[in-house]
Amino acid sequence: MKTILVPIDFSECSRNSALYAMELAKLMKAKILLFHAYHLPIYNEDNPKILFTETEIQESSNFQLDRLKLELREGSPENKTVPIDCLSTAGNPVEEIRFQADTRKADLLVMGVPEESKIRRTFFGSVTTTVLKRTKRPIIIVPQKATFKPLKKIAFAYDYLEAIGKSTMDELKLFLKLFNANLYVINVERPQERFTVQKAYSRGHLEQELTEVDHSLVFPSNEDIVSGILDFDDRHQVDMLVMIPRRHNFLHKILHSSKTEKVAFMSHIPLLALHEAG
């Protein structure tokens, strides 16, 4: 892994995601790109007065990015060894983040989300959620109050409806190897749910892929899938949750649901979203 893209809006939660990315970069021997997308000033004939010019906005953005860069370099001597680049451009944040991720061939995106009370009002309209739905690159979503710690327990929420592609499995194994973590593969089953041929095939394929990985397959029962995942994470003190947002699986449904309470589980542990190619 070479490049970690960290979108910044200068909020406390984006600062926290930068701190999290810094710790990851030291472990992965990767470089960080701090990126900020700003809106251009809008000229209005009825109110032609512009408080700031585009040049002033960009200079301010660059100044704040450089200040954050210096803050990240403080602390341990290791921090000074991490390459950090800064970039600010004008444009729509979601599209600019996707463009920079593709142009810079970012291996990982790290983004923040506000605390739970704010998530319920703004999370589904946030840049983070929109990027999560539209990017094809791995992305870690870091809750505002989450602090970095070595990942000892990783939970992978998997519904067994489709086999996992090799590139996606390799990305998951990379994190497991990096932290020497234990993997829990969670499939929350509703009462009376039947075990299908497809699930049997996917389970066999998964077991074959995880032959050399310390893992457990768990099937907690709960009428609500998200509640089942959240309960499991809490009871087993999971450090990170992994999901694959697919068109027909439960994460896709959660992200497109108006019931924002269902994503409250993201408020206490980081979420790693892996995307299938194609």
In which band, very low, low, confident or very high, does the pLDDT at 122 lie, cut at 50, 70 and 90? very low
The DSSP 8-state label assigned to residue 57 in this structure reads H
Is pLDDT above 70 for 278? no
Average pLDDT over residues 129-133: 82
In which band, very low, low, confident or very high, does the pLDDT at 245 lie, cut at 50, 70 and 90? confident
Paired tokens of 236: 């087993």
Most confident of the ranges 165-169, 187-191, 253-257, 273-277:
165-169
Nearest to 22 by CA among 42, 36, 8, 40: 8
What CA–CA distance (Å, rounded) separates 158 from 184?
10
Enclosing H/E stretch for 273: strand 271-273
What CA–CA distance (Å, rounded) separates 194 from 77?
55
The domain ranges of the chain are 3-143, 153-273
**Quick check: pTM over 0.95?**
no
Instruction: Please say whether the beta carbons of 106 and 100 come within 8 A.
Output: yes
Burial class (CB within 10 angstroms; exposed 0-12, middle 13-18, buried 19+) of 194: exposed
In which band, very low, low, confident or very high, does the pLDDT at 125 lie, cut at 50, 70 and 90? very low
What CA–CA distance (Å, rounded) separates 56 from 64?
12
Enclosing H/E stretch for 27: helix 12-28
Is pLDDT above 60 for 263? no
Superfamily of domain 153-273 in CATH is HUPs (3.40.50.620)
Tokens 């310390």, located at residue: 214
What CA–CA distance (Å, rounded) separates 65 from 36?
8
Mean of pLDDT over the chain = 83
Nearest to 10 by CA among 75, 82, 60: 60
**What CA–CA distances, in Å, run from 173 to 4, 154, 229?**
18, 11, 21
| CATH number of 3-143, picked from 3.30.470.20, 2.60.40.10, 3.40.1170.20, 3.40.50.620 | 3.40.50.620
What CA–CA distance (Å, rounded) separates 170 from 253?
25
Instruction: Please say whether the beta carbons of 92 and 37 come within 8 A.
Output: yes
Q: Do domains 3-143 and 153-273 have the same CATH topology?
A: yes
Three-state secondary structure call for residue 140: strand
Q: Tell how far CA 245 is from the center of its chain.
A: 11
Q: What is the pLDDT of residue 267?
A: 56
Is pLDDT above 70 for 121? no
Tens-place pLDDT, residues 4-37: 999 999 988 899 999 999 999 999 999 999 999 9
